[in-house]
Chains A and B, each alone.
Chain A
Amino acid sequence: AQSVAQPEDQVNVAEGNPLTVKCTYSVSGNPYLFWYVQYPNRGLQFLLKYITGDNLVKGSYGFEAEFNKSQTSFHLKKPSALVSDSALYFCAVRGNSGNTGKLIFGQGTTLQVKP
């Protein structure tokens, strides 16, 4: 079965420090991986995706993510956190079986950036 795990319910970082939000996945074949961010009472905003190619993907608002096939991970990173980055972050995956449009989401990780 295809699945996504976000092992940390919450990540706390100080403003200006680097941040990492972890994601691991389990799918058959090559995965299609996504990161979204959700602010309170809002929908999900797309940050970045990995389809193929370079393992380091750059996205919106200075975020990037590194695809690691051997560790089945797709961690979200940012070199210098901002207080405004505080939000709920979701990792999502599509498997390679068929022409699926279904996104499978993790449980989410709350990022708290303190001044």
Chain B
Amino acid sequence: DAGVTQSPTHLIKTRGQQVTLRCSPKSGHDTVSWYQQALGQGPQFIFQYYEEEERQRGNFPDRFSGHQFPNYSSELNVNALLLGDSALYLCASSLPRKGSFKGDTQYFGPGTRLTVL
């Protein structure tokens, strides 16, 4: 049973560039959430996708956008990169029971390490 996979594992970009990160959810899961984990910090919620729509968003600027595909995989796009965007980006998948997102368990991928120079 494949877990959550993310690509690439590492990425180096320069300020002002754009980046796309990819995530494939755990088999059978239909919901994908993205988190940003800065060095020495806990993960911060970026947004969550369900049924190909963004259903909830954290406190991140519009430079952060995403997409979910019919096969439930997802992309995170970041435009106009800033030095402060350097972080580990984590994708988590889940399967809400009876439409409840509160009680479901999110399973995380290994992350993509983004470095902005």
Chain A residues within 8 Å of B, Cβ to Cβ: 4, 32, 34, 36, 41-46, 49, 51, 90, 92, 94, 96, 99-108
Inter-chain CA distance A61–B61, complex, in Å, is 38
24 A-B contact pairs sorted by A residue (CB < 8 Å): A32-B103, A34-B105, A36-B108, A43-B4, A43-B109, A43-B110, A44-B43, A44-B92, A46-B106, A46-B108, A99-B99, A99-B100, A100-B56, A100-B102, A101-B94, A101-B96, A101-B101, A101-B104, A102-B56, A102-B58, A103-B45, A106-B42, A107-B40, A108-B42
Distance (Å) between the CB of B55 and the closest chain A CB? 7
Please count the residue pairs between chain A and chain B whose beta carbons lie under 8 angstroms apart in the complex. Answer: 71
Distance (Å) between the CB of B95 and the closest chain A CB? 12
Query: What band does the interface of chain B fall in when counting residues whose beta carbon is under 8 Å from A?
Result: 20 to 34
Which residues of B29-44 are within 8 A (CB) of A? 31, 33, 35, 40-44
Which residues of B1-25 are within 8 A (CB) of A? 4, 6
Q: Pick the contact of A105: B43, B48, B100 (CB < 8 A).
A: B43
Query: Given contacts A100-B56, A103-B43, A105-B42, is CB(A42)–CB(B110) below 8 Å?
Result: yes
